[in-house]
Amino acid sequence: MVATKEGHLGASLGVVELTIALHYVFNTPDDKLVWDVGHQAYGHKILTGRKANFHTNRLQGGISGFPKMSESRYDAFGTGHSSTSISAVLGMALASQLKGDTKKQHIAVIGDASIASGMAFEALNHAGVTNTNLLVILNDNAIGIDPSVGALKQYLLKVTLDKSPNTDNIFEALNFKYSGPIDGHNLNELISELNRLKEIEGPKLLHIITKKGKGLRQAEENQVLYHAPGKFDAATGEILPKKKENLAPKFQDVFGKTLVELASENKNIIGITPAMPTGSSLKYMMEAFPDRAFDVGIAEQHAITFSAGMATQGFTVFCNIYSTFLQRAYDQLIHDVCLQNIPVIFCLDRAGMVGEDGATHHGIFDISFLRCIPNLILFAPRNEVELRNILYTAQLGLKHPIAIRYPRGCGTIIDWQQPFSKIEIGKGVQLLRGKSMAILTIGTMVTNAITAINECDFSKKVSLYDMRFIKPLDEELLHSIFNKYDTIITLEDGIISGGFGSTILEFSAKNNFKNTIKCLGISDKFPNQGSIEELQDLAGISSEKIKNIINSYL
């Protein structure tokens, strides 16, 4: 199924034996089993009543690519972001104690990359002073999406290689009964050890060694690529060539390659990412300037404050983080960066709809939660050239932090490596000039608007503006728009509540304008999975839906 429909392959292949052993030994769903992140839960879903409709995985209207409580009683907790499993399972375990249920078991499966997160250690610290039926299974395969990093990885490697009794065990220091490491692909050994641990009271940790991609040669040899390889030949394992319909680059590659270009001239440029060097394309800078690019692991809060600390010392810091993951470091963004007005450059990949990864990964809240923060500049490029130019502008020196949000996938401009041009902060641009109404867009939503206008030959009736900056607003341009057009439509790929449209409504109210304003964006709900095109159409921001709205007003 994954070969033809795409999805997360390597992680699920790596825990086939573990999945079978867990459901064999424990009385799920009465015993609570939580898979951290959930990339590895495909086998779990197949074993728990979803085999017949597994072909709908990650498709619109189908089952989720991650554990989801509303989907199955076997999914004890929804997990789309990492390092939450131990906290959730500990909450369940203490709840069982309060109810007087001393027999129920509570299991968290967490990887060596995810357990290095601060949240995981907060949960371990708490769990160690309880007497709960809690079992943490540390799935040690030395990789998350990219290879694991940090001192804990080195420690786990030492534990694995050291055959003598380990008297200085970090987990035992936290009051966990530690066992292992054992072979996570030996089903009999797993079953035997799980049965033994089930009878031991108190918090326990089982350390297992697995290989991500186990059973498929290519997935074992190239674990990064086969984490989510796209479509491949199920018989041979070879990845199928993608249709080259769009020759324009991915926005992430424009970021990564442009950063290397800028860093070649500006020796103060630093790149930082929390565990996503491949996904964000910071890998290009890590290869070109390994001393100036940092993967800090699954540690979003640390990434933000680490960036701030480095920026105070005169470095120009580009912190690349997925929009949905920035949510995990909101306090650090406010207190450690914006309150102190430290000019960190945040590059928010995967802004807007992300497609088949679904509700946990859509980057639809960033405009709403960022624009309320003082000192922060907020910019959305409409294409690859604009992204290049704002990266260039930011590294010239800004007095404030800036967040640059751009989408997953490819843009529209093939010849994107053009000479740099400085962007004036807070200035929007007019792209089409019409007489009857105005559409205000930010980011790549301009493409949908242009398509809608061109398909109905509205170019003489509709003016199109790319506002570029959500904050600071180009108020001079807005005054001219509001004085010229009675009807104004705002268009964004984020949540409407508190978003770009709300910004325009606030401007209108502040200046006592009486224009008709229609805000197009994502309504007050969590969109599920589907293609970006399908999801945009459901949200009413596809070119077809925009065309209908324009028609209704004209």
Fold of 2-227: Rossmann fold (3.40.50)
Tell me: the pLDDT tens digits for 223-279?
A: 777 776 677 766 677 777 776 666 889 999 999 999 999 999 999 999 999 999 999
Tell me: the pLDDT tens digits for 379-399?
A: 999 999 999 999 999 999 999
User: Which amino acid belongs to residue 149?
Assistant: V
Which of the residues 300, 384, 386, 534 is marked catalytic? 300
Tell me: the pLDDT tens digits for 11-59?
A: 888 899 999 999 999 999 999 999 998 888 999 999 999 989 989 888 8
On the question of pLDDT at 166 being above 70, the answer is no
Residues 6+ apart with CB under 8 A from 138: 110, 111, 112, 115, 156, 180, 205, 206, 207, 208
Shortest CA distance to 402 belongs to which of 411, 393, 414?
A: 393
Q: Which structure tokens are listed for 524?
A: 């007050």
d(CA 69, CA 91): 16
Which of the residues 212, 371, 405, 471 is marked catalytic? 212
CB atoms within 10 A of CB 144: 25
Q: What is the mean pLDDT of the chain?
A: 92
**Nearest-5° Cα angle at 426, 422 to 431:** 80
Residue 37 or residue 466, greater confidence: 466
CA distance to 33, 125, 336, 443, per residue, from 128 (Å): 19, 5, 30, 47
Fold of 251-405: Rossmann fold (3.40.50)
On the question of pLDDT at 543 being above 60, the answer is yes
Catalytic residue check, 405? no
d(CA 414, CA 431): 20
Q: What is the arrangement of strands in the sheet containing 516-522, beginning at the earlier edge strand?
A: 429-432, 462-466, 437-441, 487-495, 516-522
Catalytic residue check, 455? no
Which of the residues 257, 328, 405, 547 is marked catalytic? 328
Based on the number of CB atoms within 10 Å of its own CB, is 157 exposed (0-12), middle (13-18) or buried (19 or more)? Answer: middle
pLDDT reported for residue 233: 65
CA distance to 111, 389, 458, per residue, from 277 (Å): 18, 22, 43
d(CA 385, CA 404): 13
Shortest CA distance to 465 belongs to which of 500, 515, 415, 421?
A: 500
Identical fold, 251-405 and 429-553: yes
CB atoms within 10 A of CB 345: 26
Catalytic residue check, 212? yes
Tell me: the pLDDT tens digits for 72-91?
A: 999 999 998 999 999 999 99
Shortest CA distance to 456 belongs to which of 536, 540, 551, 539?
A: 551
Residues 6+ apart with CB under 8 A from 231: 3, 4, 5, 6, 239, 240
Shortest CA distance to 497 belongs to which of 456, 526, 536?
A: 526
User: Which amino acid belongs to residue 529?
Assistant: Q
**Architecture of the domain spanning 429-553:** 3-Layer(aba) Sandwich (3.40)
Domain boundaries, the chain: 2-227, 251-405, 429-553
pTM score, whole prediction = 0.91
